[in-house]
Chains A and B, each alone.
Chain A
Amino acid sequence: MTALLEVQNLSVAYGAIEAVRDVSFAVEQGQIVSLIGSNGAGKTTTLRTISGLIRPKSGRILFEGKPIGDLAAHSILERGVAHCPEGRRLFGRMTVEENLQLGAYVRKDEGVAKDMERVYELFPVLGQRKQQKAGLFSGGEQQMLAIGRAMMSKPRLLMLDEPSMGLSPIMTQLIFDTIRELQSQGTTILLVEQNALAALALSDRGYVVDLGRTTLEGPGHELLADERVRAAYLGED
């Protein structure tokens, strides 16, 4: 069986600078897969390329076996790839409800209201403050809204970029619990994290991205045990 998402020898350049040189990985249906690596390793660029914000320079991106590398961002979303960007990027001057409605922008079915209720169940704090402007929320609450917004498109694959960034340990735990919950409900998840420990502990599979290349890969718990990973990313020597 083919993987849900397959990235083959992807390279991406900003002008003359190559941010991603040779990244390859695969995400199987139903898994949580994480890309870990230091700042500037090219993880965010990889996600932005998959979701169609940037064009790849070379390499292939296959979703359900079909190439999506040259589709527009909205077509990729329609295929079922949602991207919850780094730094939340909520529409701060819009209400919670409007943010969620935008998340469901590509959907034309009737279930939007019901799915919105589900987001409110998952994150009750959002449900209590539907009409408030998103910009007024705390970091953790904004992250919840960002995840909820991405879920509103009913994605087959949810890509989360640094969901724990800037959050307190308790809030981080809550977000990671939510990610596991989403997986159990059937969403495949591609996670980009600097918090390698938490990410790998959660993941079925992990890839280490370094200087624009995938250098190591393996099941999450194996990578977690790998000396090189521990040395480089978990602060041990």
Chain B
Amino acid sequence: MATLLQQLINGLVLGAAIALIALGYTMVYGIIQLINFAHGEVFMVGGFASLATYSYVLPDSWKSDWYLALPLMAVGGALVAVVLAVIMERFAYRPLRNAPRLAPLITALGVSVVLKEAVRLWYPGATAPVPYPRAFVDKQFSVEAFGGRITIGSTALLMIAVSLIGAVVLQTYISRSRMGRAMRATAQDPDTARLMGVNPNRTIVLTFAIGAALAGIAGVLYGIHYTNVDTEVGFLYGIFAFTAAVLGGVGSIKGAVIGGFAIGLIKSLAGQYLPGGTSYDLVWIFILLIVVLVFRPQGLFGEPERVRA
């Protein structure tokens, strides 16, 4: 029982990270129907950028104060992620906006490979997982219950809190603000949105930027929770997040969050209880992805869309 609870907690933490990344996927897909394959790598770059902020930018005296270090690292990670996303939107995706659909997908694949390789080659020591500092927020809460010990770290609580708050803020922004309306309008009917005076390029860049900022923050949270960053996580978490977005219904904020937590819980529980254990936990997620795409491509909360080519 205690094991189950512990696994549920682990799953929720993982799910929180996935949800934060899935938000970017779902928003970008919602607005330009692009599977931004490189989004997972943006998350990874965010993790490395925040680490670089810690290692090379922060003065040593600030490093031990979490209330100074953590926000600045988050800003560093998010900022680099945003700049990266804006550049790739402008130079890789925008020229292909009217191209057949395979072209931007292949480009996204290319961008993803380039980002991963760039970090692997040029970040010092990134050919292997790089240790990430968390000395400043390593408090663990644990209780004896159900015949075992259940532990939850402050980083885990932070991860869950940030992802929930982020989703609520984003949902409010999109449903209430002027730019949010513009985003939804562009997603529904880009031409008519232009007739309303919406600048589609600006709207799309903003969408990319918001998604990237969330992914960058997810990178920081991932780092402090799992105490390392690794060039491999971009691809993996990208797939997780994409699965979450599809499961929840692409374009839906709520769906992305619920999908994210669902994926986290499935991975964690499947690793514990299903045959094959952690060796096969990814396989279950991929099978789930296939099943959802085949039988309910609009996801749990998505509206059945017109036939997609």
Query: Does chain A bind chain B?
Result: yes
Q: What 0/1 readout, one digit per residue, does chain A (157-194) give for beta carbons within 8 Å of chain B?
A: 00000000000000000000000000000000000000
B308 near A: Cβ within 8 Å?
A: no
A84-118 toward B: CB 8 Å interface, digit per residue (1/0)? 01000111111000100111011000000000000
Asked if A51 is at the interface (CB within 8 A of a chain B CB), the reply is: yes
Render A59-92 as a binary contact track against B, CB cut-off 8 A, 1 for contact.
Answer: 0000000000000111001100011010001111
Known: A103-B196, A105-B178. A91 touches B191 (CB 8 A): no
Which of A89, A91, A94, A106 has the most B CB atoms < 10 Å from its CB?
Answer: A91
The answer to whether A91 touches B178 (Cβ under 8 A) is: no
Q: Is the CB of A94 within 8 A of B197?
A: no
B185 touches A102 (CB 8 A): yes
Given contacts A93-B303, A105-B178, contact A73 B185 (CB under 8 A): no
User: Is A153 close to B, CB under 8 A?
Assistant: yes
A222 to B303, CA, bound (A): 51
Residue of B nearest to A89 (CB): B192
Asked if B189 and A77 sit within 8 Å, CB to CB, the answer is: no
CA distance A90 to B178 in the complex (A): 17
State in angstroms the CA–CA spacing of A101 and B180 once bound together: 12
List chain A residues, Cβ under 8 A from B197: 73-74, 77-78, 105-106, 153
Please state if B196 and A105 are interface contacts (CB–CB under 8 Å).
yes
Decide if A37 is an interface residue (CB 8 Å cutoff).
Answer: no
Judged by DSSP, the binding face of B is helix
Q: Do B189 and A102 touch across chains, with their CB atoms under 8 A apart? A: no
Size range of the interface on B? Answer: 10 to 19
Number of A-B contacts (CB under 8 A): 61
When chains A and B are docked, how far (Å) is the Cα of A51 from the Cα of B196?
Answer: 10
B188, CB-defined interface residue at 8 Å: yes
Question: Judging by beta carbons under 8 Å apart, are B181 and A101 in contact?
Answer: yes
B64 interface hit (Cβ, 8 Å): no
Q: How far is the CB of B31 from chain A (nearest CB, A)?
A: 13
Q: Do residues A102 and B196 form an inter-chain contact, with CB atoms below 8 A?
A: yes
Q: Which of A72, A74, A77, A85 is packed against the most chain B CB atoms within 10 Å?
A: A74
Tell me the minimal C-beta distance from B14 to chain A in angstroms.
32
Evaluate contact between A83 and B185: CB separation under 8 angstroms: no
Docked Cα-Cα span, A149 to B197, in Å, equals: 12
Establish whether residues B195 and A93, one from each chain, have CB atoms under 8 Å apart when the complex forms.
Answer: no
A53 within 8 A of B: yes
Asked, given contacts A105-B197, A105-B198, A106-B197, whether A53 binds B181 with beta carbons under 8 Å apart, the answer is: no
Distance from B254 Cβ to chain A, minimum over Cβ atoms (Å) = 15
* B199 interface contact, C-beta 8 A: yes
- The answer for the CA separation of A173 and B308 in the assembled complex, in Å, is 38
Query: Do A74 and B199 form a contact, CB below 8 Å, given A53-B191, A53-B194, A93-B303?
Result: yes
The answer to whether the Cβ of B120 comes within 8 Å of any Cβ in the partner chain is no
Q: Please, which residue of chain A has its CB at the minimum distance from the CB of B192?
A: A89
In the assembled complex, the Cα of A78 lies from the Cα of B198 at a distance in Å of 11
A101–B198 alpha-carbon span in the complex (Å): 12
Q: Measured between alpha carbons, how far is A6 from B303 in the docked complex, in Å?
A: 44
**Residues of A near any B CB (own CB < 8 A):** 51-53, 72-74, 77-78, 82-83, 85, 89-94, 98, 101-103, 105-106, 149, 153
20 A-B contacts, Cβ less than 8 Å apart? A52-B194, A53-B194, A72-B199, A73-B197, A74-B198, A77-B196, A82-B195, A85-B192, A89-B189, A89-B195, A91-B185, A91-B192, A92-B188, A93-B184, A93-B188, A93-B303, A94-B181, A102-B196, A105-B182, A153-B196
Question: Closest 3 interchain pairs by CB?
Answer: A106-B197, A73-B194, A77-B197
